[in-house]
Structure 1
């Protein structure tokens, strides 16, 4: 009985301490220097930042600050230029922005707008690849058109991971994401491989086949030369294989008359079948 009373007294003391400290902690948070609070919020990911904004009025007002969302926009989409950014108002600067400023939430709106737009664009690329690869193979012309769409929209690495590095979509779409990371974002090696592994697509394979014009020997033209390589997405991310990446980058040029990308287990259509479509 004495033990129970002792435990109860200690519990009551602890609860009293917590109830006493709670207003003090809330007061400390409310009186944090603005630059310190901004620094704390700027270290968070978007999801955590949104969660923090639900904690109190203080954090809700601070978490929509342009100084935070501008850094998030620039970090997620490094390929954006100044023409894509919101125009600054002469009546308010980043250092004197307040909740009453008409441009106070412009960077946050830009972030949310681009996030939605890129999701829609990624879905359109997925539908395009599906339409062009009904037989599980994709001609290099369509493949490069899909890559150009990503370039024009200026996808960021997070967008590629979110929308293209999905094990449930066609492996050709995964390959397009890898190609874009290597050639446009400059992301390769361990960083890219780690992302592929986290998405569970590093071991997915594709087959790249290309045909070169047959050589002329003693006035006779030999048959077109056929080449093929089976590679994993992880291999492409780590090895600078000019025989594969070079063919994908250049497409049909000079002596290469056709390039076809297909999933594992696909048998390519006969070369003569699509000669008239090139």
Structure 2
């Protein structure tokens, strides 16, 4: 029997990746020997760096995009929350309006005076009768006001100069004056509070409703100068655009128990 001898290959088995990563493929020596060098080429190293950079950049972009979306969502929720609180505060004040006809004693004074963007009405308080007003007040251009909602505006505003031009925004103001100060147009005892901020121009709108005596249907007025209180007051509040997205608009209908349904 003829025994055939097989030459053993002393080289370790090579994986496909290792074979592809040779620095030189079968570089032969002068006497026919084979010299093999293992490693990565410069192109392969650069390609690995590029792929790693792309992966890290993608992770970075996705992570910070998620943080930005979350921050915008929180800002939007904060804006809606402030506007909702402001609407509820105005509704409570309107529901407690006191009806009184000053035609005989003070013909120029009305217990309820409503305009398109401003409202003033009489209210009873432990300190006596007071006139309450709601209106918008523009912030100083080129300045940023940091306020705390519900605090007194004169003690509560820190102003920081800003050189970057931004769209003008307004604060929703609640002003309360004693009856005598209102008659004399005095500001000595006026209380002014910021109830909401970041309201756009014309972002506060009022309309006043009653029953049409001719048709029996509902009639709406853009202003109210009658000597009686309207039965319905519609409030519309719209915020200005901000980094969190477009503005928000809310509306509320208020029924005044002391109001008059029919105006002649």
For normalisation by structure 2, the TM-score amounts to: 0.25
Query: If each structure's strand is expressed as a fraction of its own residues, which one has the higher value?
Result: 2
For normalisation by structure 1, the TM-score amounts to: 0.24
Larger radius of gyration: 2
Query: If each structure's helix is expressed as a fraction of its own residues, which one has the higher value?
Result: 1
Query: Of the two structures, which has the highest relative contact order with CA contacts closer than 8 Å and spacing of 6 or more?
Result: 2
